[in-house]
Structure 1
Amino acid sequence: MPTDKPSYLGHRERIRAKFAASGLAPLADHEVLELLLTYAIARRDTKPLAWALIKQFGSLGEVLDADPAALAAVKGVGKGTAAFLKLVRAMFTRYSLEELRQTATIRSPEQVVQYCKASLAGRSEECLELIYLSVRNTVIRTETVALGLIDRVSISPRKIVERTLAAKASAVILVHNHPSGDVTPSLEDVLLTQEVVEAARLLGISVYDHIIVGRQAYYSLKANGKI
């Protein structure tokens, strides 16, 4: 006699159909995560695991930003599923960078914020990234130049200018994150930026902005009159 299908199979079909019909908008965070997990975990109900991950890390974003080892340590996840979740996160970052590259010209901080948040907002340590721009203000590439506390000791203005010259860029945007979530610039942030502006000016390089990002907010030093 035929056996009944496991109940989770019908649930998987329903949640996939919900996404196919309306996208992510009607899905709660745990449902989005549950849907993702169905592509990494076969023959198992992924709803309890989605809830466990949300409970452990706090939100969908924090699950995707979590360290792979921390993800793998959650019962039911393992290294393979942890790697899958990190792949999803990395793909979003690359997609955001491609969108930024396709922008005709960079004219405002809002144009780079989505990429900044995708790249940096979820990191547990401070990270300074440079966005190199051509003479037409299009993105050449990006580069991470410092990890840890961002100040004039960890990364000198001279190094930032040297890396910009090496990229054959005519302008640069500095971007870094504040893991605390408070995007208010420190005195060191402001002094470092002003020194970079002055050093770059002597070599004909423009510093368009220094953007600080958190998970929920960002701060443009240019828009706020700091440079």
Structure 2
Amino acid sequence: MNGSEPDNSGHRARLRQRLADGGGDALLDHELIEYLLALAIPRRDTKPLAKRLLDEFGGIAGLLTADTGELKRVEGLGETSIAALKIAQGAAIRLVQSPVKTRPILSNWQALLDYLRADMAHHPIERIRVLHLNTKNMLIRDELVAEGSIDAAPLYVREVVKRALELSSAALILVHNHPSGDPSPSKADIDLTRNVAEAGKWLGVAVHDHIIMGTSGHVSLRAKGLI
């Protein structure tokens, strides 16, 4: 063996070949993360670290959506390896985001849910986003409007409607996540949605839905008859 090669180069070569032959499905979750980290830390056996990360963050989704600050607290992860994980997350989100940007939202609902799940379901802090749509229900702006504590984020009806008028939005979809994992709407969620819908109605801005994302699934307030 050449002294410059890592001791586990043969193992990595086998992973690389399986990946080339069968794509991502050919590797187990820990093998995907192991190989990703190996690109950032080429002189180290990354299998133990990959397994520990998946265990600590509850799987690939939790790991890739973990906050950079959380990742920095993990022994063995440096700036380069954290950057590799964030690049993987960014690429995955771009992949599921593409159809949301290029087709009418209401006729492509599953793609929207896939995108929101990838981006928000595992986030440890509650975040509220507003999707602005034009008259053809095409997405014209996707904005993060509030970020809160572990269980709350402020949203002001006046600011939401004001922004809709600035963008000439025809309709809105409200979205937020529940870090607890349970997407069941609270009374505050329902009241907020109805207040935004009522304010928008007088100005010609419809509220199509309010979607709550959680690790255990999602809830549509429209589907539940709460709007």
- Alignment match, 1:199: 199
The correspondence of residues 6-85 of structure 1 with structure 2, limited to 5 A, is 6-85=6-85
- Alignment match, 1:218: 218
Find the aligned partners of 1:159 and 1:75 in 2 and give their Cα distance: 42
What SS class does the counterpart of residue 184 from structure 1 fall into? coil
The Cα of 1:69 is off from its aligned counterpart by: 3.0
State the one-letter code of the partner of 2:190.
Answer: V
TM norm structure 2: 0.90
Residue pair 1:150, 1:189 contacting (<8 A) in 2 also:
no
Find the aligned partners of 1:47 and 1:105 in 2 and give their Cα distance: 40
Find the aligned partners of 1:96 and 1:50 in 2 and give their Cα distance: 24
What SS class does the counterpart of residue 112 from structure 2 fall into? helix
- Alignment match, 1:135: 135
The Cα of 1:190 is off from its aligned counterpart by: 0.5
Deviates more, 1:5-14 or 1:101-110: 101-110
Deviates more, 1:188-197 or 1:36-45: 36-45
Find the aligned partners of 1:131 and 1:146 in 2 and give their Cα distance: 13
Find the aligned partners of 2:194 and 2:108 in 1 and give their Cα distance: 19
Deviations 1:55-109 (A, max 9, x none): 3323122221222233233232112211221222123223322221122452364
State the one-letter code of the partner of 1:158.
Answer: R
Residue pair 2:65, 2:119 contacting (<8 A) in 1 also:
no
Find the aligned partners of 2:191 and 2:181 in 1 and give their Cα distance: 21
The Cα of 1:164 is off from its aligned counterpart by: 1.5
Deviates more, 1:166-175 or 1:73-82: 73-82
The Cα of 1:11 is off from its aligned counterpart by: 1.1
Find the aligned partners of 1:2 and 1:33 in 2 and give their Cα distance: 26
**Identity of matched residues, %:** 39
Distance 1:112 1:145, change over 3 A: same
State the one-letter code of the partner of 1:55.
Answer: D
What SS class does the counterpart of residue 140 from structure 1 fall into? strand
What SS class does the counterpart of residue 77 from structure 1 fall into? coil
User: Which runs of 5 or more residues in structure 1 are unaligned?
Assistant: none
TM norm structure 1: 0.90
State the one-letter code of the partner of 1:64.
Answer: L
Residue pair 1:109, 1:211 contacting (<8 A) in 2 also:
no
Deviates more, 1:211-220 or 1:81-90: 81-90
State the one-letter code of the partner of 1:141.
Answer: R
What RMSD, in angstroms, separates the aligned Cα atoms of the two structures? 2.1
